[in-house]
Amino acid sequence: MDLDLIRKLTVPSESKIVFLVMDGLGGLPREPGGLTELETARTPNLDALASRSVCGCTVPVGPGITPGSGPGHLALFGYDPLHFVIGRGVLEAVGIDLDLGPDDVAGRGNFCTIDNQGRVTDRRAGRISTETCVRLTGLLRDRVRLPGVEFLVEPVKEHRFVLVLRGKGLGGELSESDPQQLGVAPLDIHPLSSAPDRAASQRTADLVNEFSAQARRILSGEPAANAVLLRGLDRRPSIPTMAEVYGLRSAAIAVYPMYRGLAKLVGMTALPSGTKLADEFDALEKYWKDYDFFYLHFKYTDSRGEDGDFDAKVAMVEEFDQFVPRVMNLKPDVVVVTGDHSTPSLLKGHSWHPVPSLVYSPYCRCDGTAKFGERTCARGALGTFPAVDLMPLAMANALRLTKFGA
C-alpha cells in the first residue's frame, strides 16, 4: 500500500499493536512428506491464538526472492524493500549500534593483505583477531586526516570494521575497492551511475580513496593487515518514520544490535532489555504504557535454522510459545506473529519461502485455523500475501485507519 495513503487515513487511537517476530520462522520438512520445524513444534499458545486470528503466509520481497534481514524487516514495518534499499555499510553500522545521521555515508571495511607490488594476497588479512582489529581501527582513527569531514572507524569482528564519513555535501551510491579476487590491486572507488548527486558522490569517493591511501601508509609495518578494502558505501535510505506514516509511538525490543538498528532506521525507540527471551518480555511489560507499537524480535529460530539444526529450531519455537500468554495478559488490541523470512534448517540459510503469520484482534474475522504452521496458514483467509500488507492490516484492526473516500 502507498505510505502516503496510509498516512492520510491514520487517526488517533489508544490502541496497542504488538509484532512478535521470530527470525527465520518459516521452514521445510526434514524429509519429503514430513513436517516443518514449526509444524513439529508443540505450540499450544500459538495454536490457541491462531484459532482467534486471521492467518496467512507472507512474501517478504517477492516470489522466489530470498530476503536479507534488512529487506525482510522493512517489509514487516510496511516499507517496500525494493524501494527502500539499505546499503551494506549502513547495515553494518547499525549492527554495531552506531547512530547514523541522514547525511552520513557508511561503508563496510575489511583489513586485507597486499604484497610489495600492491596486489591483494588475502582479502581478510588472515582473519586477524578482533583484538587486533580494535587496535588497528584505533590507529586509523588517531592518524588519518581527512579534510572537511569527520569520520568514524569502528571495529566489528575479526577483519571487519565500519567507516562512517560525517559532514555536509557527501553523496552515496559508490563503487567498492574490494576487487573480489586475489593478485590484483584494490580498485579506486567512484560514484555509481545511479548516484543521484554525482558531484557529492565524487567528493565522497575522493575522501574514501584518500582514507585508503593513508591507511596503507599507516599500516605498512603490519604483518598481515597492511591495507583496507571498502564496500557498500552509501547513505542511509530516507525513510519516513513510523510516527510520520502511522502516527505510532513505536518501540523495539531486540537483543542483536542489527535489529535495534533497523528499527531505529524507521524511527523506533530501542528499549533496554536483557539478553534472555524472558528479559525481552519483561521489557514489553515494563514499557507497555509508553508506546503504541512494539516490535519484539527473537533471533534464535533463525540461528538454529542457519546451523541446520532442525530439533534445536523446534525447541526455540516451543520456548517462544510459552511467552505468548504474557503478551495476551497485557490485553493488546492487535497481535501479529510472523517472521522476517524463512530459514529452513534443511537449507541452512535464509530462503524465499512464505512466512506463516497471524493477525489477532477482536475484529480480525478469524478463519478457524487450528494450528499455527506453514500449511495451515497458507490455507488461512489471508492466503499467501505480501509482507508489506501486514502493517495496514494491523492498523485497520487497531481501528487506527479511517475510511477512504466518501
Rg (CA), the chain: 23
Of 111 and 246, which CB lies nearer to a second copy in the complex structure? 246
**Hey, which residues between 216 and 245 contact a second copy (CB under 8 A)?**
232
Does 61 interact with a second copy (rule: CB under 8 A)? yes
> Cα–Cα distance between 323 and 330 in angstroms, integer?
12
Q: Which of 246, 353, 357, 372 binds a second copy (CB under 8 A)?
A: 353
- Which parts of 98-137 interact with a second copy (CB under 8 A)? none
By the rule CB under 8 A, 405 interacts with a second copy? yes
Binding to a second copy by CB under 8 A, coded x per residue (else -) over 74-93, reads: -------xx--xx-x--xx-
Beta bridge partners of 79: none
Query: Looking at 12, 14, 32, 329, which residue binds a second copy (CB under 8 A)?
Result: 32
Residue 34 is which amino acid? Answer: G
The cell for 185 is: 590491486
Sorted by sequence, the CB contacts under 8 Å of residue 399 that are 6+ apart come out as 13, 15, 333, 363
HEC letters along 151-165: EEEEEEECCEEEEEE
* Nearest CA among 333, 253, 316, 244 for reference residue 286: 253
From the CB of 401, what's the least distance to a second copy, in Å?
A: 6
- Nearest 5°: phi and psi at 326? -65, -35
Q: Among 7, 42, 44, 65, which residue sits at the site for a second copy (rule: CB under 8 A)?
A: 65
Q: Identify which of residues 88 and 166 has a Cβ nearer to a second copy in the complex.
A: 88
Q: Nearer to a second copy by C-beta: 11 or 199?
A: 11
Concatenating the DSSP letter of every residue in 103-147 gives T-EEEEEEEEEE-TTS-EEETTTTT--HHHHHHHHHHHHHH---T
Q: Which is nearer to a second copy, 191 or 392 (CB)?
A: 392
Nearest to 89 by CA among 105, 74, 101: 105
d(CA 61, CA 68): 10
**For a second copy, which is the closer residue by CB, 190 or 341?**
341
Q: What DSSP assignment string belongs to 208-220?
A: HHHHHHHHHHHTT
182 forms part of the interface with a second copy (CB under 8 A): no
Position 9 contacts a second copy (CB under 8 A): yes
Pairing of strands 17-22, 334-338: parallel
* Minimal distance, residue 232 CB to a second copy, in Å: 8
Rounded to a whole number of angstroms, the minimum distance from the CB of residue 172 to a second copy is 15
Query: Which CB atom, from 5 or from 182, has the smaller least distance to a second copy?
Result: 5
Report the residue from 43, 201, 351, 357 that binds a second copy according to the rule CB under 8 A.
351
* 166 binding a second copy? (CB under 8 A): no
Q: Is residue 70 within the footprint of a second copy (CB under 8 A)?
A: yes
Total residues in contact with a second copy, by rule CB under 8 A: 68
Q: Is 60 exposed, middle or buried (0-12, 13-18, 19+ CB in 10 A)?
A: buried
CA distance 137 to 116: 22
Residue 195 or 393 with smaller CB distance to a second copy: 393
Residue 352 binds a second copy, judged by CB under 8 A: yes
Least Cβ distance, residue 374 to a second copy (angstroms): 6
Kindly provide the b/e burial profile for residues 34-59, where b requires at least 16 CB atoms within 10 angstroms of the residue's own CB.
ebbbbbbbebebbbbbbbebbbbbbb
169 binds a second copy (CB under 8 A): no
Pick the piece of the chain touching a second copy (CB under 8 A) from 114-122, 203-211, 295-303, 345-353.
345-353
**Closer by beta carbon to a second copy, 269 or else 384:** 384
> CB of 114 within 8 A of CB of 185?
yes
The site for a second copy (CB under 8 A) is made up of 1-2, 5, 9, 28-29, 32-33, 36, 52, 57, 61-71, 81-82, 85-86, 88, 91-92, 232, 344, 346-347, 349-354, 362-363, 365-368, 374-375, 378-379, 381-385, 389, 391-397, 401-406
